[in-house]
Amino acid sequence: MHMLMATGIDIIQKLNVYPRFQDHDKKKLITLSNLDRQCPLLMYSVFFYKNTTTRDFDSVFSDLKLGLEETLSVWYPAAGRLGLDGGGCKLNIRCNDGGAVMVEAVATGVKLSELGDLTQYNDFYETLVYKPSFDGDFSVMPLVVAQVTRFACGGYSIGIGTSHSLFDGISAYEFIHAWAFNSHIDNKSNGKITNKKDNLVIKPVHDRGNLLLNGDAIRVTNAAAICHLYQLIKQAMMTHQEQNRKFELPDSGFVIKTFELNGEAIESMKKKSLEGFLCSSFEFLAAHLWKARTRALGLRRDAMVCLQFAVDIRKRTERPLPEGFSGNAYVLASVASTTRELLEELTLESIVNKIREAKKSIDQDYINSYMEALGGGDQSNDGNLPPLKELTLISDWTKMPFHNVGFGNGGEPADYVAPLCPPVPQVAYFMKNPKDAKGVLVRIGLDPRDVNDFSDHFLDC
Active site residue ranges: 164
Return d(Cα 418, Cα 258) in angstroms, integer: 10
Please check whether residue 433 is in contact with residue 259, taking contact to mean a CB–CB distance below 8 angstroms.
no
Q: What one-letter code names the amino acid at 359?
A: K
Q: How far is CA 306 from CA 90, 194, 284, 302, 451, in A?
A: 30, 45, 16, 13, 20
Return d(Cα 234, Cα 373) in angstroms, integer: 17
Going by their DSSP bridges, the two strands 391-396 and 304-312 should be labelled as parallel
Please check whether residue 131 is in contact with residue 151, taking contact to mean a CB–CB distance below 8 angstroms.
no
Find, among 68, 88, 72, the residue nearest to 80 by Cα: 72
Q: Alpha carbon 346 to chain centroid distance?
A: 30
Helical residues (DSSP H) of 12-132, grouped into ranges: 34-37, 57-74
Return d(Cα 2, Cα 433) in angstroms, integer: 27
Most distant CA pair in the chain, distance:
71
Return d(Cα 109, Cα 121) in angstroms, integer: 20
Return d(Cα 266, Cα 287) in angstroms, integer: 13
373 Cβ contact partners less than 8 Å away, ≥ 6 residues apart = 222, 223, 226
Phi, psi of 82 (to 5 degrees): -75, 145
Please check whether residue 303 is in contact with residue 235, taking contact to mean a CB–CB distance below 8 angstroms.
yes
Q: How far is CA 333 from CA 2, 62, 422, in A?
A: 41, 43, 20
Q: Calculate Rg over the CA atoms of the chain.
A: 22
Phi, psi of 346 (to 5 degrees): -75, 130
Going by their DSSP bridges, the two strands 428-433 and 391-396 should be labelled as parallel
Return d(Cα 325, Cα 243) in angstroms, integer: 48
Return d(Cα 309, Cα 333) in angstroms, integer: 5
